[in-house]
Amino acid sequence: MNDWRGIPREKIPWFPTIDAEKCSGCRTCVDFCRNGVLEFDAEQQKARVRAPFNCVVECSTCGRFCPAEAISFPAEKEFNAIIRRLLEEYR
């Protein structure tokens, strides 16, 4: 995925953040995501973000599946403001 609505993907700050304190290491998120965004760190026994810009913009399903609620995404209001600005910039 190189761009989204004409915006270079690497300019879009949409990807998961994992709270290592909350992560139980269950691998639910890693097993779910088919885009290689997440990986399991065997040494830490936690999930971690491996390829943030592989994340599908506006997808937050891994966060909804996380039983420990350890995954978060950008706040909707702030994200929408960034997207509006980027859409203007890349028109």
Q: Kindly list the distances between the CA atom of residue 40 and the CA atoms of 27, 59, 64, 78, in Å, as whole numbers in the listed order.
A: 7, 20, 18, 29
Burial class (CB in 10 A: 0-12, 13-18, 19+), 75: exposed
Q: Model confidence over 47-90: pLDDT tens digits? A: 999 999 999 999 999 999 999 999 999 999 999 999 999 999 99
How many domains are there within the chain?
A: 1
Whole domain around residue 62: which residue ranges?
Answer: 3-89
pTM: 0.92
Q: What is the pLDDT of residues 26-46, one digit of tens each?
A: 999 999 999 999 999 999 999
Give me the CATH number covering residue 21.
3.30.70.20
